[in-house]
Amino acid sequence: MKEKRSLEDTLEALKRVESGCEDVQVLLEFAQEDPSATNLREAGREIADLGPRVRALELKAMLGERNDSSDAIVNINAGAGGTEAQDWAEMLLRMYLRYCEAKGFKTRILDQQSGEEAGIKSATFTAEGDYAYGFLKAEVGVHRLVRISPYDSNSRRHTSFASVFVYPDIEDEIEIEILDKDLRIDTYRAGGAGGQHVNKTDSAVRITHLPTNIVVQCQNERSQLQNRASAMKILKARLYEFEVAKRLEAKEEIENSKKDIAWGSQIRSYVLHPYRLVKDHRSNLEVGDPESVLNGDIQRFIEAYLMSERAT
């Protein structure tokens, strides 16, 4: 039903573009017979309205890979560098949550490990909405921040790194066999914000899938049962990706894309000092307004990446 609805929406959008093109053709014919400013202005308005519609269809055409229309599971990890890197990871989490909000995606934080002084060591959240995975998969990689550190008493410039991985949130009808004997389930006391229930019971859950050594965890739900269900959902998505990679003999390529969270492996640089610039190293798109980017305005980077991937 979800696929049917998506195809119907695409067909309706194509019909609107076709109708708009016909209207422009009629207006241009009127303008040839009577080149008045009114006819020309009307034709210009119609052409301007067609631009975003065509752009939206182009984007949808780029998102034709398997699982692109799925919801997404996003994982953010701080690199080496202690508090500075952990603060950068939290800035990225805020950026993606704001992006998802602007796109109309529904988000839910499944797990968040706070830093000792500030920021986060890691976080995992879901993004639910049309083509959430197709868009957010463009953010997979290492992100680099250059700034004067607010945690350095000497006000020196620091470079920090954090990594982003994105997985499709697999629908329940896709069967992934998970045997109880293949799981090690550990419970522990949740930490951080979350209300009075946090820290009073061992409600947090960590699940290790022994055959693949995949580890997932969740601590932000109210009960151990809810945390276990959320962790199993993440594990299912991770195992699906693992199986797909194995069948396509692409596992090595996928693992190689998870580079060290360090210098030389970044996909994007965010420079706040000595100049102000955000540059994507894959598409070479540069934006001189890092504040808007860190507030979630990353769609232009995602589109530039998708266009560059399509060109290759």
Looking at the structure, tell me whether residues 243 and 160 fall in a common domain: no
The top-scoring range by mean pLDDT among 120-134, 146-160, 217-231 is: 120-134
> Domains in the chain: how many in total?
3
- What pLDDT is stored for residue 160 in this prediction? 94
Residue 198 pLDDT exceeds 60 = no
Residue that is last in its domain, among 62, 81, 97: 62
Contact between residue 206 and residue 186 where contact means Cβ atoms under 8 Å apart = yes
pLDDT bracket for residue 196 (50, 70, 90):
very low
Looking at the structure, tell me whether residues 231 and 96 fall in a common domain: no
Amino acid identity for residue 296 in this structure: G
Looking at the structure, tell me whether residues 156 and 281 fall in a common domain: yes
Residue that is last in its domain, among 220, 247, 274: 247
Query: Closest Cα partner for 16 from 76, 45, 57?
Result: 57
Range of the domain at 23: 2-62
Q: What percentage of the chain exceeds 90 in pLDDT?
A: 54
Looking at the structure, tell me whether residues 135 and 266 fall in a common domain: yes
How far separated are the first and last CA of the chain, in Å rounded? Answer: 33
Query: Closest Cα partner for 115 from 156, 80, 167, 166?
Result: 80
Instruction: Tell me the C-alpha distance between 122 and 54, whole Å.
Output: 38
Looking at the structure, tell me whether residues 80 and 152 fall in a common domain: yes
Residue that is last in its domain, among 247, 274, 297: 247
- What pLDDT is stored for residue 312 in this prediction? 65
We report the CATH number of the domain holding residue 85 as 3.30.70.1660
- What pLDDT is stored for residue 87 in this prediction? 97
20 contacts: CB under 8 Å, gap ≥ 6: 46, 49, 50, 53
Instruction: Tell me the C-alpha distance between 238 and 235, whole Å.
Output: 5
Please work out, in degrees rounded to the nearest 5, the angle formed at the alpha carbon of residue 226 by the alpha carbons of 222 and 229: 155
Instruction: Tell me the C-alpha distance between 87 and 57, whole Å.
Output: 37
